[in-house]
Structure 1
Amino acid sequence: MNSHPASLDSYFAAWNARDAASIRRHLGEAFGANTRYLDPHRSATGIDEFAACLQAFRAESPDAVISWASGVDSHHQLHRYAWELHVGERRLSGYDVVELDENGRMAAVLSFFGPLPPLPSLAPAAQP
């Protein structure tokens, strides 16, 4: 199933917003009451904590833009998609796995940076 919940558009809009009021407004459309956000550098619970994370991110990278890098793959209340962060000439890719609540708002966002690691080399199977 391929779907695109409206809360994901609001979430991307929050990342791309330039001021605190816009960030908060978009998160209010995307997040549930106690949404958990985790990525390799930050974690937050709820709109207030995550809005503070985005405001700090925006202060460090005022011209950064996040964009879709894939469609949305969905089943049950889970959605995954790839994204790309543009900061000047730099690009960072990653993907998110998002769980929505019964109202279509984000309950959890698990964000990963970069490509998946390669499989480790496996030792040859022992011969009988």
Structure 2
Amino acid sequence: MSANTDRHESAVARYFEAWNASEPEELAKAVAAAWTIDGAYTDPLSDVGGHEQITAVIAAAHEQFPGFAFRLVGSVDGHHDTARFSWELVSEAGGTPSGGGSAPVAGFDVITLGADGRIRSVLGFLDRVPAGA
């Protein structure tokens, strides 16, 4: 495993820590650890920048899908300062994401990293979204 691969996987791990943080203070800290101060997040439903707005998008996802967690699907693929990975939103059982539950939302993201290894930008793509979401 190359140092670059480690860098990509570490950034993605921090990304999922942010998306799965449930308490406001924990979420704010996780977003700050994952994104650069001027980091951005863009998907078909959102286009935001900065920690405060990214935190608000994540909090809104928790409100819309209570009891669900984001999980990596497959492996992280990356080169230079860019990585891509697939994910799904799964129901939680006993505090951990279950592998057997439904996944109402799934997609893949492409991230660009800053020099410090934190995310500068996310381009998200939604492969599966429930009707009315």
Fold match by TM threshold 0.5? yes
Aligned twin of 2:43: 39
Among candidates 47, 50, 56, match of residue 52 of structure 1: 56
Once the two structures are TM-superposed, the CA of residue 6 in structure 1 deviates from its matched residue by: 1.9
Give the equivalent residue in structure 1 for 2:24.
20
Q: Deviation of residue 55 (structure 1)? A: 1.3
Q: Where does the alignment leave 5 or more consecutive residues of structure 2 unmatched?
A: 92-100, 129-133
Shift of 1:18: 1.1
Which has the larger strand fraction?
2
Q: Aligned pairs, how many?
A: 115
In structure 2, the partner of 1:95 is 108
Query: Is the CA contact 2:39–2:119 (under 8 Å) kept in the aligned structure 1?
Result: yes
User: Which residue does 2:125 correspond to in 1?
Assistant: 112
Cα distance in 1 for partners of 2:43, 2:125 equals: 6
- TM-score when normalising by structure 1: 0.81
Residues 95-120 of structure 1, C-alpha deviation per residue, up to 9 Å, x if partnerless? 000000111010000000117xxxxx
CA distance in 1, matches of 2:106, 2:65: 16
TM-score normalised to structure 2 length? 0.79
Q: Give the letter aligned to residue 78 of structure 2.
A: S
Q: Percent identity?
A: 30
Please say which structure displays the higher CA radius of gyration: 1
In the TM superposition, structure 1's runs of 4+ consecutive aligned residues that sit over 4 Å from their partners are none
